[in-house]
Copies of this chain bind each other. A is one copy, B any other.
Amino acid sequence: MKIAVLGGDGFVGWPTSLHLSELGHEVHILDNLSRRWIDTELGVQSLTPMDSIQERTRIWHQETGRRIRFHLLDIAKDYDLLKGWLAEHRPDAIVHFAEQRAAPYSMKSDRHKNYTVSNNVNASHNLLNAIVETGIDAHLVHLGTMGVYGYSSVGAAIPEGYLPVGIETLAGDTARQDILYPANPGSVYHMTKCLDQLLFQFYAKNDGVRITDLHQGIVWGTHTDQTRRHPQLVNRFDYDGDYGTVLNRFLIQAAIGYPLTVHGTGGQTRAFIHIQDSVRCIELALKNPPARGDRVKIFNQMTETHRVRDLAELVAKITGARVAYVPNPRKEAAENDLVVRNEQFLELGLKPTTLAEGLLSEVVDVAKKFAYRVDRSRIPALSAWTKDIAPTLDSDPEGKRLRKVS
């Protein structure tokens, strides 16, 4: 297949591009490299030393003989270029990662809120619009988030996208209907993924666009089979307070002797998936498209759920790190349960990488190896969800006080 990977220079986009290329697909990366610009804005960098996308693709060709083409293109801003590109290349499938993907970044300031909404909504809508306008029949695979569901359940399992409900009719009986799971996003970023869902629903219904939406859990790990092949193919690893996801942040904190910072009580239960399983899920989704005219196909792309404080204790046990409970920058439920349905990918053959087997190697192979590159002052999560929360946070850049507290 000819596959366009939008956002193919990013944390999941890059290993996905390699994985699909390895499988023999013709892979084109379209990316505006915004994630690298945001590194510059924030003054942070990937823990792993990351080469330019041009250099990465050159190494991939050198190591494997395969070509991944890179096209610098801002799909949120350059609709006409995107449309022209699709009309010329007519991909069979499009994998859409091209959105601002950090909840804390989306809540940093009013400017960051506006950027996230405008960038993400326009990116997704431009893409749908251009698919219809060019008349191509590409299968669109989009990376969503488990965060669209929210975490305040009524004691029910989170289904894969569609919730069967009973609705009282005028005749007095109960009609059964599958509805898109009611959106309950916890940040501006998560909200944009809920907006995406409505865009997808409309374009599937009105224009018959074939769409798969993957509601992904929190990704952990760095390496995949392909990124391991050469030091310059290494994936990015974010540990800063904005882009670092919870488990990866614990790993690096453990590696440098910084206390593991748990927000609030750590009673938040979240869904997780290893990066290797993520790229495998994309492969499975591409192999199993919906038919033209079908509703949007939704998968829960996750393999395990864990309570945050349990994760911290687990990492502490493996590494000897301490755990520090710090004020929560987010406005969210202090404690929640979470049961998630994910049968679809398991039935398609996904074999999950478990935390138990993968965790230690991540600490040794990545976190310890590159610990010398860490800027400790970038570790605290300081993007507050509201103006009331902001003053309760404490940057404590060296983690000194936290070490005593724990």
Binding site for B on A (CB under 8 A): 79, 83, 110, 113-114, 117-118, 121-122, 125-126, 129-130, 132-133, 135, 154-157, 163-171, 174-175, 177, 179-180, 182-185, 188, 191, 194-195, 198-199, 201-202, 206-207, 331, 339, 385-387
Contact = CB atoms under 8 A, between A and B. Distances in A.
Contact of A155 (B170, B339, B385, B387): B170
Give this chain's copy count. 2
A199 B191 contact: yes
Given A121-B195, A182-B179, A194-B198, A130 B157 contact: no
Contact of A133 (B110, B117, B125, B183): B110
Q: Which of A125, A126, A157, A194 has the most CB of B within 10 A?
A: A125
B135 A113 contact: no
A170 to B, nearest CB: 6
A383 B339 CA distance: 46
A185 B198 CA distance: 9
A183 B385 CA distance: 27
Contacts of A180: 182-183
A157 B170 contact: yes
A202 B175 contact: no
Given A170-B156, A171-B155, A110 B83 contact: yes
Given A185-B202, A198-B194, A174 B167 contact: no
A114 B182 contact: no
Given A110-B83, A113-B129, A166-B166, A175 B198 contact: no
A90 B183 CA distance: 32
A330 to B, nearest CB: 10
B117 A122 contact: yes
A207 B388 CA distance: 9
A135 B170 CA distance: 44
A117 B129 CA distance: 11
6 contacts: A114-B125, A154-B169, A179-B179, A191-B198, A191-B202, A198-B198
B122 A110 contact: no
A118 B387 CA distance: 27
Nearest to A116: B125
Nearest to A148: B198
Contacts of A175: 154-156
Contacts of A166: 165-166, 174
